[in-house]
Structure 1
Amino acid sequence: MKLALLPLLVAASLHAQVPGKPVEPPNRLPPTLANVAYGKHERQVLDFYKAESSKPTPLLFFIHGGGWVNGDKAPVNDRDRFLAAGISIVSINYRYSWQAQLDGVVPPVKAPLDDAARALQFVRSKAAEWNIDKARIGASGGSAGACSSLYLAFHDDMADPKSSDPVARESTRLMTAAVSGAQTSLDPKQLIEWTPNSRYGGHAFGFMDPKDRKSRDTRFAEFLQKRESVLKWIKMYSPYEHVSKDDPPVYLIYTSAPAIGQPQKDPTHTSNYGVKLQEHCKAIGTECQLVYPGAPNVKHKTITDYLIETLKK
């Protein structure tokens, strides 16, 4: 591959997987099962696309982006290619953080992340019925969906084997996660050191007017100032905090080259996030592939290439 083409390929991958910017046309065929409820809230629904196979298939578990304040499960990039490769797909909706904030969920990010875990457990509970291989599930998504995917990838298993609820007894562990434009940390102290003009993350912990979604990124200074008051939650919900040696491999792709400690044109999706997570993973002994324009040793040009190869091993 010519190096000059890499920025275009990276941009296409991120652009395709950030909600509101799909590059493929709307799905030509409806889901095999649409709006399957995995909880009681109207947003706790998922779509299932079944790959035809005589044996249990791997699964792409897709979490849409949109800053946890908007977005929808409908656009799934490269859907037909995954299905043709024998990989089934689940794409989920989840409670927005502003809805959680209005409902008194503390911190608000608990809702979308708990929903992602619950949806994954629900899907595993349907493995026999839907012909899914429980051991071969890879999460993906862009932006906030990427952050949610990494949270699942790095978090210890949230299964409760003693629960009376059979869904809660299912594992939340993944085989891998492959994401675009991921926020790898929700700690404002780290973010301001990595990228001085950082502005994202405060809404996850209630620094937002839930009745005005445009206020999402307007209170970062307050978030940083009051960091100590929410530090226990940062430790609970920031993907960076959960990395351990037994975690599955992850793949990250960004549209811009990193510049640690310098302001970024798009600080919410800067590859500075990826550089710092990769350094952290390397120190711990967890595999983390990082792709951005000009990145060295690129093994997989796109998320789709990576996931098909990894899930079909």
Structure 2
Amino acid sequence: MRICLLVAALALNTIHAAEPPKPTHADVAYGAHAHQLIDIHLPPKGEGPFPALLWYGGIWKASKHAVDVNRFFPHGIAVIAVEVRTMEDATKDKVKEPISYVLEDAMSAVKFVRENAAKWNLNAGKIALGGGSQGALPALYVGCKAPELVTCVAAYRCQPTIDPKRMQEWVPGVQWGAPALGCSFEESLKRRDELLPVIQKWSPDWLLSKSAAPMYFENEWGMTKPDDIVETKVDSSGKKTEVHKPLTQNNYDVHSPAWAVGFQKLALAAGAVCHVKYPGHPTEGYYDIWNFIIKQLTSKP
């Protein structure tokens, strides 16, 4: 158990680079808002055009998260960190459907990269999308809404729906996502039938079809909540120290693989390709989320 937890924690801690890498092109604007920005990390070697992974940041607080580029540079893959307008921005602007800011920007960023691919020596026909936790929702939205724009979608320990009813069917008692629909979670659950047209417009699970981009979910915890988690901290000298911390029920519920399993059932029923990996549940053909991205972006037609 301890070994499994340690491995899981290491995966969690290394999803992003230990030190943020310096972008080849920093803070490139794809819109007029201060939060509509991307950082482009191009492989230092290779002729290109390079396939690219777009990785989304926060949807509540503006942020960019670049995954460890060293996973992808050896394979000639560029990494692009995407910042979007947030639900906080939408609430400030009194937007009726706050999630619209996030997901409209998710789509705009992909189109912007494709339109300017030649400028940065990128392959517009080989673009993967991904995100961790909240950041996976925009990736899944684009992959289901406009699959013709992307090659695949990678979702790490994520929440793939804004439908309050489905959330609680998959993870009983969980509350997540407010104010995506412009109200509290409790109110969205009470008004779910009234809000269903909005949910169906923006939620990836309601946009699933046979043509959806291939998707891969990975979670570091299994279907049963572990007692604790192990974090590995590294000091300035490089010394590593293991720190055991209790895993709260809320943290587990929000990042449980039950979300991915529930989404996968809907995806497979729709005829979409959807893989789910968690401890004790491997995937055929891919040993993890990173291997999936690399294979999808480097495979020949």
Q: TM-score, normalised on structure 1?
A: 0.81
* 2:37 matches 1:45: yes
Correspondences of 1:199-210 after superposition (within 5 Å): 199-207=175-183
5+ residue gaps, structure 1, are 158-170, 208-218
How far residue 294 of structure 1 moved from its aligned partner, in angstroms, is 1.1
Whole-angstrom distance in 2 between the partners of 1:49 and 1:134: 15
- What letter corresponds to residue 54 of structure 1 in structure 2? E
- The more displaced of 5-14 and 240-249 is 5-14
Equivalent residue letter for 2:169: E
Compare 8-17 and 120-129 and name the one that shifted more: 8-17
Q: Percent identity?
A: 30
Q: Which amino acid aligns with 1:116?
A: A
Aligned to 1:277: 263
1:199-258 Cα offsets, whole Å, 9 max, x none, are 102311122xxxxxxxxxxx4222211212321110011110111111221100112223
Q: Quote the Cα distance in structure 1 between the aligned partners of 2:26 and 2:283.
A: 40
Q: Secondary structure at the match of 1:191?
A: helix
Which runs of 5 or more structure 2 residues have no equivalent in the other structure? 225-248
Give 1:222's aligned amino acid.
E
Q: In 1, are the aligned partners of 2:62 and 2:86 still within 8 Å (CA)?
A: no
Q: How far did 1:300 drift?
A: 3.0
Q: Give the distance between the partners of 1:303 and 1:178, measured in 2 at CA.
A: 6
Contact in 2 for aligned 1:60/1:139 (Cα 8 Å): yes
Distance 1:298 1:156 in 2: 26
> TM-score of the superposition, structure 2-length normalised?
0.84
Correspondence for 1:33 among 13, 21, 25 = 25
Count of residues in correspondence between the two structures: 274
Question: Does the 8 Å contact 2:275/2:283 carry over to 1?
Answer: no
| Aligned-CA RMSD value | 2.2
AA partner of residue 112 (structure 1)? V
**Residues 136, 5 of structure 1: alpha-carbon distance in 2 compared, 3 angstrom cutoff:** farther
Q: Secondary structure at the match of 1:267?
A: helix
Equivalences for residues 102-251 of structure 1 within 5 A: 102-156=92-146, 173-207=149-183, 219-251=184-216
- The AA in structure 1 aligned to 2:257 is S
The SS at the match of 2:180 is: helix
Inter-CA distance 71–99: structure 2 relative to 1 (3 Å threshold): closer
